[in-house]
């Protein structure tokens, strides 16, 4: 048999095709050159330098909307998209967020539910990273229960007029286009809002201690007047935004493992180099137990992600299964980051190492795209047949 690989203890690499490995390697290479040397500094300063340039490089690599077909999108598989998310989040959850929101939320909404005009206007530019998108579902007073949203769109002649607030919106202040969900007389509907439209503004949210290398904003919609063609014609109801969340949550099933992998590798290297009581701390049984448990959880999470990826590519993946993956992989990845942090001792709290950055980032990932509690209740309902939401 081939030699044992501490970074792939179960040999899961054997389950990937040459094309899948090539996609993974190309994203890893871009991240190594364009993100890894700078991201701790971006996190510390709460910014991403030259985010538009980075978006264009990600677009040139084919990563934006990569699992969509046509309109300039790369038409890759779901598994390839997952592998890309893992590599991006091994650099930083903020970079994966930039890509998830662009491809799985804003672009997917237009690709799946948009008119031909909306698709041709936005998708090629978004795939190239020339236009950045955001996705406004959450509001100051509604998060887990989006069916109760207050943002409203009313008709005025042929036009639509939007009033309301969205909160915690990734990419908001840098977006060229916002997909905004609003109540109408006809139920919840989605709107494609150019961010230059009068009445639209997107102040950035400050003071975050997580996802600092990511733009997060409020969206203010103050009598935003849109033409009739701005509404997503093909969907009504909560199914519209929730169908987009299935895509982004799938990416997170993989992505969170990237943060875990980076933290685990940092802990393993550190444990081999740090000496206490006359020997490397990796020689202590308690440290080994931590490293082994983390490797086990990472390996199980990766197998689960790959299984769900294969189901998605086969067209058999159910939303409840995405919840299963998101719940498990984010929860366990956060635990891996926390345990890695203990192995680094005091150095574990420093941005000189990636671990506390990943750990703090995953606190957001545990909450966004459906909190750990929401995914528990989605699965609880699927397993028991009883809804415990309300």
To ligand FAD, the closest distance from the beta carbon of 78 in angstroms equals: 21
Residue 111 contacts by C-beta under 8 Å, 6 or more apart in sequence? Answer: 65, 68, 71, 73, 119, 123
Least distance CB 323 / ligand TGC (angstroms):
8
Residue 210 is a binding residue for ligand TGC (CB under 6 A): no
Query: How far is Cα 186 from Cα 238, in angstroms, rounded to an integer?
Result: 12
Q: Rounded to whole angstroms, how far apart are CA atoms 127 and 111? A: 11
Comparison of 291 and 366: residue with beta carbon closer to ligand TGC? 366
Tell me the closest approach of the beta carbon of residue 18 to ligand TGC, in angstroms.
Answer: 29
Q: Which residues, other chains included, contact 371 with Cβ-Cβ below 8 Å and sequence gap of 6+?
A: 143, 144
**CA distance linking residue 73 with residue 99, whole number of Å:** 13
Partner in contact with 339, chosen from ligand TGC, ligand FAD, none, beta carbon below 5 to 8 Å by kind: none
100 or 287: CB nearest ligand FAD: 100
Q: Is residue 244 within 8 Å of 135, Cβ to Cβ?
A: yes
Alpha-carbon Rg for the chain in angstroms: 21
Provide the 3-class DSSP secondary structure of residue 27. Answer: helix
**Out of 118, 138, 210, 328, the residue judged to bind ligand TGC by CB under 6 A:** 138
If the CB atoms of residues 104 and 321 are measured against ligand FAD, the closer one turns out to be 104
Q: By CB under 6 A, is residue 266 in contact with ligand TGC?
A: no
- Identify which of residues 197 and 243 has a Cβ nearer to ligand TGC in the complex: 243
Q: How far is the CB of 249 from ligand TGC (least distance, A)?
A: 8
Residue 49 to residue 348: CA distance in whole angstroms: 25
Q: Give the nearest distance from C-beta 81 to ligand FAD in angstroms.
A: 18
CB 175 within 8 A of CB 132: yes
The residue annotated as part of the active site, out of 20, 218, 332, 369, is 369
- The contact mask relative to ligand FAD for 205-244 (x = CB under 6 A, - = no) is ------x----x----------------------------
Q: Quick check: 160 binds ligand FAD (CB under 6 A)?
A: no
d(CA 364, CA 358): 10
Choose the binding region for ligand FAD from 49-57, 83-91, 162-170, 281-289 (rule: CB under 6 A). 162-170
138-157 positions binding ligand FAD, by CB under 6 A: 138, 143-144
Q: Is 323 in the site for ligand FAD (CB under 6 A)?
A: no
How far is 51 from 132, CA to CA, in rounded Å?
10
CA-CA distance, 172 to 169, in Å (whole number)?
Answer: 5
Cβ proximity to ligand TGC: between 110 and 343 the closer is: 110
The Cα–Cα gap between 361 and 323 comes to 19
Give the pairing type, strands 177-184 and 133-136.
parallel
Q: Is residue 137 at the binding interface for ligand FAD, with CB under 6 A as the rule? A: yes
Q: Given candidates 88, 101, 153, 366, which one binds ligand FAD under the rule CB under 6 A? A: 101
- 247 versus 332: smaller Cβ distance to ligand TGC: 247
Closer Cβ to ligand TGC, 27 or 245, answer by number: 245
Could you write out the DSSP letters of every residue in 143-173? SS-GGG---EEEEETTEEEEEEEEEEEETGG
**Is 117 known to be catalytic?**
no
321 part of the interface to ligand FAD, by CB under 6 A: no
Tell me the closest approach of the beta carbon of residue 230 to ligand FAD, in angstroms: 18
Residue 378 sits in the site that holds ligand TGC (CB under 6 A): yes
Among 9, 11, 229, 237, binds ligand TGC (CB under 6 A): 237
Rounded to a whole number of angstroms, the minimum distance from the CB of residue 252 to ligand FAD is 11
Burial class (CB in 10 A: 0-12, 13-18, 19+), 118: buried
Q: How far apart are CA 341 and CA 352, in angstroms?
A: 12
Maximal CA-CA distance, the chain:
80
Separation of alpha carbons 107 and 316, rounded Å = 22
Q: Is there a contact between 225 and 198 (Cβ–Cβ < 8 Å)? A: yes
Report which secondary-structure segment, H or E, holds 218. Answer: strand 216-226
233 binding partner (options ligand FAD, ligand TGC, none; Cβ < 5 to 8 Å by kind): none
The site for ligand FAD (CB under 6 A) is made up of: 101, 135-138, 143-144, 168-170, 211, 216, 364, 367-368, 371, 373-374, 377, 389
* Catalytic residue positions, numbered: 369
């Amino acid at each position: 048999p081939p030699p044992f690989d501490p970074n792939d203890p179960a040999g899961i690499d054997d389950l990937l095709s040459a094309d899948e490995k090539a996609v993974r390697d190309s994203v890893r290479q871009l991240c190594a050159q364009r993100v890894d040397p700078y991201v701790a500094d971006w996190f510390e300063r709460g910014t991403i330098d030259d985010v538009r340039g980075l978006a264009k490089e990600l677009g040139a690599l084919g990563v934006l909307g990569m699992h969509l077909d046509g309109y300039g999108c790369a038409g890759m598989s779901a598994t390839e998209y997952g592998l890309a998310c893992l590599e991006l989040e091994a650099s930083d959850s903020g970079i994966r967020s930039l890509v998830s929101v662009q491809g799985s939320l804003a672009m997917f909404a237009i690709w799946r539910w948009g008119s031909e005009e909306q698709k041709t206007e936005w998708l090629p530019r978004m795939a190239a990273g020339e236009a950045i998108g955001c996705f406004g579902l959450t509001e100051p007073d509604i998060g887990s229960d989006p069916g109760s949203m207050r943002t409203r769109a009313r008709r005025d002649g042929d036009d639509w007029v939007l009033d309301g607030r969205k909160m915690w919106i990734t990419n908001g202040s840098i977006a060229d286009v916002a997909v905004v969900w609003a109540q109408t007389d006809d139920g919840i509907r989605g709107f494609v809002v150019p961010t230059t439209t009068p009445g639209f503004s997107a102040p950035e949210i400050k003071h975050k201690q997580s996802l600092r290398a990511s733009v997060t904003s409020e969206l203010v919609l103050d009598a935003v007047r849109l033409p009739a063609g701005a509404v997503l014609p093909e969907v009504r109801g909560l199914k519209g935004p929730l169908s987009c969340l299935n895509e982004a949550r799938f990416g997170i099933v993989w992505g969170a493992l990237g943060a875990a992998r980076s933290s685990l590798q940092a802990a393993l290297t550190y444990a081999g180099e740090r000496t206490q009581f006359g020997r490397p701390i990796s020689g202590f049984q308690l440290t080994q137990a931590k490293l082994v448990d983390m490797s086990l959880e990472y390996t199980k999470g990766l197998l689960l992600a790959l299984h769900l990826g294969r189901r998605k590519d086969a067209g058999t993946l159910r939303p409840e299964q995405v919840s299963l993956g998101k719940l498990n992989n984010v929860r366990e990845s956060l635990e891996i980051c926390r345990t890695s942090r203990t192995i680094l001792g005091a150095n574990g709290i420093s941005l000189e190492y990636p671990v506390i950055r990943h750990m703090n980032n995953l606190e957001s990932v545990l909450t966004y795209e459906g909190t750990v509690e929401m995914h528990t209740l989605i699965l609880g309902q699927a397993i028991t047949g009883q809804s415990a939401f309300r």
